[in-house]
Amino acid sequence: MAKGLGKGLQAFFPDEKQNQIEQVALKQIRPNPYQPRKTFTEEAISELAHSIQTHGILQPITVRKSIKGYEIVVGERRFRAAQHAKLDSIPAIVKEYNEDEMMELALIENLQREDLNPIEEGTAYQKLMSHLDVTQEQLAKRLGKSRPHIANHIRLLQLPTVVQQFISDGKLSMGHGRALLGLSDKNKLSSLLEKVLHDKLSVRELELLVQQLNDRVSRETKRRKINLSPFLKERQDILRTTLGTSVAIKPGKKKGKIEIDYFSEDDLERILQILSVEEK
């Protein structure tokens, strides 16, 4: 999971006025419709509810006024725990935020708390790009993230739903997901996924297996790949990590080749952005 942002919430939404805390009835509050986090474990909510019953709510949630009451901007976990603790009201700071700010604040707060799994994080980035009409580069600068970090998370959304669910549940890592994206023959995905889970393959073992399945070349070519010099192998690994896709360096007597896999026009655009290739 990615580390918290280098920029705090105040850097994005500086507060011009003194925060005033109000007691808001729980029945008047609705969850944030832009909440990127979809999984709230019952055990964690119960633990927080017990703490609230003992010590109270130490940090107010943030809400905005809506037609039907209030919408949560930040603090849905505290709100759920307060419901679990059977409280009637919760301390809240009432703010005025527009739709863009609602979505961005929900993402930033969860990223800072490291609450999102890779799929939730990728989905949140994609929604922000669409809603705010920004590029990966612009979003990366706005959130204090690297462009490859955002691109690699968004790429996970190209995986089949079942694979995304395994990543969300923690049964597969983000690295496993990226390796599976490199599989050329998607008909082999189901059996490969079964093997990964059954044999508990590491990311590196899966990468090697995907490369073997993708190779449709002669034994001589395979032998040349195995004998790739340490220098070229290191550069090949760097390119794979940076571009988030399968990359093959093929040396030759007079000139070499670099083959980069992409899986859609959007994926190609993502790679071109990372390579800083601008459309003329």
Q: Is 104 a catalytic residue?
A: no
- CA quadruple 103, 106, 109, 114: dihedral sign: negative
Stated length of the chain: 280
Q: Given the residues 71, 76, 120, 121, select the one marked as catalytic.
A: 76
Q: Comparing C-alpha atoms, which of 97, 94, 80 is closest to residue 37?
A: 80
**How many whole angstroms separate alpha carbon 32 and alpha carbon 157?**
22
Going by DSSP bridges, is the β-strand pair 69-74/29-30 parallel, antiparallel, or unpaired? Answer: parallel
Q: Which residues contact 128 (CB under 8 A, 6 or more apart)?
A: 103, 104, 107, 134, 139
Q: Comparing C-alpha atoms, which of 16, 41, 73 is closest to residue 24?
A: 73
**How many whole angstroms separate alpha carbon 100 and alpha carbon 94?**
17
Query: 10 Å Cβ neighbour count for 116?
Result: 23
Residue 14 — φ and ψ, nearest 5°? -60, 135
Catalytic residue IDs: 76
